[in-house]
Structure 1
């Protein structure tokens, strides 16, 4: 259902509310970028990939368990609901974490910051056209082309000039972007609330993974690992997961969905900048070029330069 905006003056939000929304959006993006850097730090330090994934799931699952108990998902009136729940868990839960975190074993954080946010909107747009019947606007087409060019600049350069295994991580980041796009579409079709969907994803993933991890000796490895590294992963699991979700919701309420989403264009650059002092990873010139292209593409695709959408 659409509204004819020409018949009424656009709502003008108070300036303090918009400033608070912008601050929340910036905080959200900073948490996302810091989460990517923390994951790279985790899998290249004393912890293994399997340890990092367990720590990413544990606290959010415990905190969200009451939400799932009080508000279990109901399939009434929703076709293919079990399949949608499976896509939710695969797209943002255990398979996604194994893929995105596994990519960090091979490729630097700057590549994750460019390829996952850059590829996710591409796959989401394609799925929206095929599944939801949405259409590409001219700005969305241009944004998609820029994201493709940026992803090619980041990943293609490694294929041509790097004899190592960085390209494997890049492919995993692209796959993780596709998985998150599937989660986005499945969540829209499922009709679940944000916290309800997050509870399904984290609790189910933890129940599937924790027994295998603990029976495989994971508890012993965590006891022997430096407390500082374990603490960073536990804090990051809540900060980049639950806290960023709350901050993003606040930003959407104060700014609107499209302007808040447009702040995601800052994720690639912030990830690369944070990785320099925290990880000692300096992106190549081709990576910086890709970061700029991806950032512009994400901003265009989310309506950052559409004055009509900013006013609404």
Structure 2
């Protein structure tokens, strides 16, 4: 174990309840963000403008996620983004930091892959609407989320400091790409959608979501914080029905169920504390 890893505060020494509450709030924000972003990029605002409004997510993370929203339905965003993010967290922990993977977690990873194959394979082979491009971009975003999870866990910054640092650099990087589309939207009478997306992207997702996710990682550890992410899958799918009119296909529902069960098992929440990797 590296000196940095030994120096990290152990999550079990801190009260867990605030971490679980922060994690639940985070996935609720993620679900609302998935539906709201999907609606915006298919109706009023281009991804670059949304990226500028959000500015709380790193530019390299935001690009594959926002552009992926143009192709992948909202019900499929959950399994492919928060659904696979714990998989990337665990793989990075195993490959880079030597964390152990128990048999139950490996079975969970297999379920996640089966769910992703069910969703992505259906879109690639049968839908014919280009959704597979969104699937690939969302998986890229999930991998970047996994990198961020481990990087934050070891960077020594507080949740508020990390959100401020990410927001500043993301805003500066996205300004040349999103400034003109955002002004164009305002000039064409889209003030109300811009304000609503500024609230969703800029405050809820870009500030509150990042801070709450950081608190969850601090209190629970990377694996346990990621374990709550399947809730956003169900919430996003349910919200998409009345808001977007998107009814998940049978394959998508199967993928949602498999990915949700897989994430719960892969997160290690059912392992004994002594066997769980931080």
Normalised-by-shorter TM-score class? 0.7 to 0.9
Contact 2:159–2:211 (CA under 8 A) maintained in structure 1: no
Contact 2:48–2:177 (CA under 8 A) maintained in structure 1: no
Q: Which of 134-143 and 150-159 deviates more? A: 134-143
Distance (whole Å) between structure 1 residues aligned to residue 153 and residue 74 of structure 2: 29
Question: Aligned Cα RMSD in Å?
Answer: 3.0
1:48 to 46, 49, 70: 46
TM-score of the pair, normalised by structure 2: 0.84
Distance (whole Å) between structure 2 residues aligned to residue 252 and residue 185 of structure 1: 9
Distance (whole Å) between structure 1 residues aligned to residue 191 and residue 246 of structure 2: 24
Question: Helix, strand or coil for the counterpart of 2:100?
Answer: coil
Query: Is 2:25 the partner of 1:27?
Result: yes
Distance 1:135 1:308, change over 3 A: closer
1:205 to 153, 167, 170: 170
What's the offset of the Cα at 1:185? 2.6
What's the offset of the Cα at 1:53? 1.2
Query: Is 2:94 the partner of 1:129?
Result: yes
Count of aligned positions: 267
What's the offset of the Cα at 1:292? 0.9
Distance (whole Å) between structure 2 residues aligned to residue 217 and residue 260 of structure 1: 35
1:263 to 224, 228, 236: 228
1:1-312 aligned within 5 A: 18=17, 23-57=21-55, 60=56, 92-214=57-179, 216=180, 218-237=182-201, 238-248=203-213, 256-257=220-221, 259-306=224-271, 308=273
Distance (whole Å) between structure 1 residues aligned to residue 128 and residue 228 of structure 2: 35
Unaligned 5+ residue runs, structure 2?
Answer: 6-11
What's the offset of the Cα at 1:196? 2.2
Distance (whole Å) between structure 2 residues aligned to residue 136 and residue 307 of structure 1: 13
Distance (whole Å) between structure 1 residues aligned to residue 99 and residue 224 of structure 2: 19
Unaligned 5+ residue runs, structure 1?
Answer: 3-9, 61-91
TM-score of the pair, normalised by structure 1: 0.75
Distance (whole Å) between structure 2 residues aligned to residue 233 and residue 226 of structure 1: 11
Contact 1:155–1:167 (CA under 8 A) maintained in structure 2: yes
Question: Helix, strand or coil for the counterpart of 1:303?
Answer: coil
